Amino acid sequence: MTIQQELDVILKCLNDIGHPVSVGALKNQLAEHTHNKTIQRRLRKLVELGEVIAEGEKKFRTYRLASYRTGDATVSAVSDNQAQLDKQCEDTKHPIFSENSLDKLTYLETPPYGRIKSTYQLTLIEKYIPNETLYVPLSVRTKLHKAGKRFDKSLAAGTYAKQIGQRLLIDLSYNSSRLEGNTYSKLDTEKLIEQGLSAEGKIHEETVMIMNHKEAIEFLIENAENISLSSFTIRNIHYLLSQDLLANPKACGREREIEVSIGKSAFTPLNNPHQIKEFLALLLLKADQIIDPFEQSFFLLMHLSYLQAFEDVNKRTARLSCNIPFIKQNLCPLSFIDVPQEDYFKALLYFYETNELLPALELFEWAYRKSCEQYDVVKESLGDIDAYRIQHRGARKEAMGQVIRGNIGNKKLNEFLRGYCRENSIELSDKFIAMTVADLEQLHAGAIIGLGITEAMFNEWKKQNS
């Protein structure tokens, strides 16, 4: 029996038992004889994955599934979501939503003035306990992880996103902008991103929106190893997405201090500036503790949209931020390919007004599967060139930092890098030089973390060598 099979057997056993158990009690329930130490190792792994919760100390320690919490309404909510997802019929009227969700969404057919007025519910975040409260059922997380997994070994954060970098830039920029009503076609988006050619007849704001997406996605990919879920990170993503689009330039990357409303909605967002900052920090603190990448992504997508922490560009910020777990863990990203604008906003609006997650959860699962189909490739090793790139990443960053600090221009660049290779005994120096030169050509101020330089140094080097 493989390790994964052993983990699955333990999860099924815990689910059948339905309450916290000791290692000894669990062993008695397992069909096959397994040593205590093996069970303990597997349980530790499941705890690390967020599938199991350990309670108590040493000989009094018990284990239970993370998907149920005694005396909490979240248990029934998660169980209901699971049952509803499992009951989706093959003859459903909708490719995304189950009959249950479609029934729920009819609520939005009543005009806003006829629906129950609602406000931001502080308790949704306050009561959420990372790795215990679960929005995404275990079966869904398991299926999505299987679909999104791209490597059988541990690699540096952002490796897969870099492999599909250009395609990801186009797909996510296009689809996220499309959901905001941007009329750029996929082909025009590709031309804009790859060649800088604006489409004829498009308004300036649409062009800026797509270029802002490109810059923000590049920021996520290039800084995958160092990026964390903090207010600093989210504010910078918002800044990159909103630059040159807001009436108040000072609002870019800053929590809002004005009241906002949601069109065609009976929902009123939180409008206390102090609480907005506090709850943005709190939701990110909790998000950072979530172990499972799909739970973490869905949590970010929903709560960053729900909080409306900025004057505008909140949903765009949520869509890019929810990709951080996938980029960091080398899973397939979520590009919102083919997601209908109407269905997307209905699912969000229903959550805003009722705090019910089922329609949004079904849309999230469908959208992720669509993205996996888009990027589906045969699992294989990175190959010599990519392996070499990963192996010498630290050296390339050090060399780039030295080039910029020394203000080394194009004429002397190859000579300097060849000397660097000799001094540091780097094999295949031509390959190293080609990679480093290409990285320097694509470098921008949003991707200089880890180079040991300041933005002023970079700007001066760029100015002297452009």
- pLDDT tens for 293-352 read 999 999 999 999 999 999 999 999 999 999 999 999 999 999 999 999 999 999 999 999
Backbone angles phi, psi at 64, to 5 degrees: -150, 160
* Domain shared by 388 and 332, yes or no: no
pLDDT tens, residue by residue, 398-424:
999 999 999 898 788 999 999 999 999
* Domain shared by 15 and 105, yes or no: no
Contact yes or no for 181/345 (Cβ under 8 A): no
Residues composing the chain: 466
The enclosing domain of 7 has a CATH number of 1.10.10.10
Paired residues of 21 in beta bridges: 63
Q: What is the pLDDT of residue 70?
A: 34
Assess if residue 11 is contained within a domain.
yes
* Domain shared by 128 and 48, yes or no: no
* Domain shared by 389 and 334, yes or no: no
Assess if residue 85 is contained within a domain.
no
Q: What is the pLDDT of residue 375?
A: 84
Q: Is 195 exposed, middle or buried (0-12, 13-18, 19+ CB in 10 A)?
A: exposed
Over residues 353-358, the mean pLDDT reads 96
Over residues 108-130, the mean pLDDT reads 94
Q: What is the pLDDT of residue 386?
A: 54
Assess if residue 72 is contained within a domain.
no
Answering whether pTM is above 0.75, one says no
Q: What is the pLDDT of residue 390?
A: 65
Contact yes or no for 451/400 (Cβ under 8 A): yes
Assess if residue 77 is contained within a domain.
no
* Domain shared by 419 and 272, yes or no: no
Assess if residue 137 is contained within a domain.
yes
The enclosing domain of 183 has a CATH number of 1.10.3290.10
Assess if residue 71 is contained within a domain.
no
* Domain shared by 34 and 130, yes or no: no
Domain boundaries, position 24: 3-65
Domain count, the chain: 3
* Domain shared by 355 and 412, yes or no: no
* Domain shared by 350 and 457, yes or no: no
Tell me which residue of 229, 347, 353, 341 sits closest to 295, measured CA to CA: 229
* Domain shared by 125 and 226, yes or no: yes
Q: What is the pLDDT of residue 124?
A: 95
Assess if residue 81 is contained within a domain.
no
Contacts 24+ apart (CB under 8 A), 32-37: 32/1, 34/6
Assess if residue 17 is contained within a domain.
yes
Q: Residue 38: how many CB atoms within 10 A of its CB? A: 12
Q: At what angle do helices 231-242 and 204-222 cross, to 10 degrees?
A: 150
Contact yes or no for 47/55 (Cβ under 8 A): no
**Distance in angstroms (rounded) separating the CA atoms of residues 128 and 78:** 13
**Helical H runs in 196-292?**
204-222, 231-242, 273-289
* Domain shared by 32 and 130, yes or no: no
Single out the residue in 340, 374, 408 at which a domain terminates. Answer: 374
pLDDT tens, residue by residue, 240-293:
999 999 989 899 999 999 999 998 899 999 999 999 999 999 999 999 999 999
Single out the residue in 325, 346, 374 at which a domain terminates. Answer: 374
Q: Is the pLDDT of residue 86 over 60?
A: no
Report the amino acid identity of residue 191: K
Q: Is the pLDDT of residue 452 over 70?
A: yes
* Domain shared by 305 and 177, yes or no: yes
What string of DSSP letters covers 348-381? HHHHHHH---HHHHHHHHHHHHHHHHHT------
Q: What is the pLDDT of residue 59?
A: 65
Over residues 200-223, the mean pLDDT reads 92
pLDDT tens, residue by residue, 9-30:
888 888 877 778 888 888 877 7
pLDDT category, 38, cuts 50, 70, 90? confident
**Distance in angstroms (rounded) separating the CA atoms of residues 365 and 361:** 6
| Largest Cα–Cα separation, the chain | 74
Q: What is the pLDDT of residue 76?
A: 38
* Domain shared by 404 and 301, yes or no: no
